[in-house]
Amino acid sequence: MKTAVIQFPGSNCDADALHAARLLLDDGAQFVWHTETALPEGTELVFLPGGFSYGDHLRSGAIAARSPIMNAVKAHAEAGGYVLGVCNGFQVLTEAGLLPGALSRNKELHFMCKPVHLRVENNATDFSRAYGPGQIIEIPIAHGEGNYYADAATIAELEEGGRVVFRYADNPNGSLNDIAGIVNERGNVLGMMPHPERAVELLLGSEDGKGVFESLKTVKK
C-beta neighbour count of 80 within 10 angstroms? 9
Residues 6+ apart with CB under 8 A from 45: 1, 2, 3, 4, 21, 25, 26, 81, 82, 83, 84, 216
Minimum CB separation of residue 170 from another protein in Å reads 14
C-beta neighbour count of 8 within 10 angstroms? 26
Residue 144 to residue 178: CA distance in whole angstroms: 16
Q: Which range touches another protein (CB under 8 A), out of 65-73, 109-117, 121-129, 158-166?
A: 109-117
Instruction: Fill in the per-residue mask, 123 to 162: x = in contact with another protein (CB under 8 A), - = not in contact.
Output: -----------------x-x-x------------------
Confirm or reject binding of residue 66 to another protein (CB under 8 A).
Answer: no
Residue 153 to residue 174: CA distance in whole angstroms: 19
Confirm or reject binding of residue 208 to another protein (CB under 8 A).
Answer: no
- Specify whether 87 is catalytic: yes
Confirm or reject binding of residue 28 to another protein (CB under 8 A).
Answer: no
Confirm or reject binding of residue 171 to another protein (CB under 8 A).
Answer: no
- Residues catalogued as catalytic: 87, 195, 197
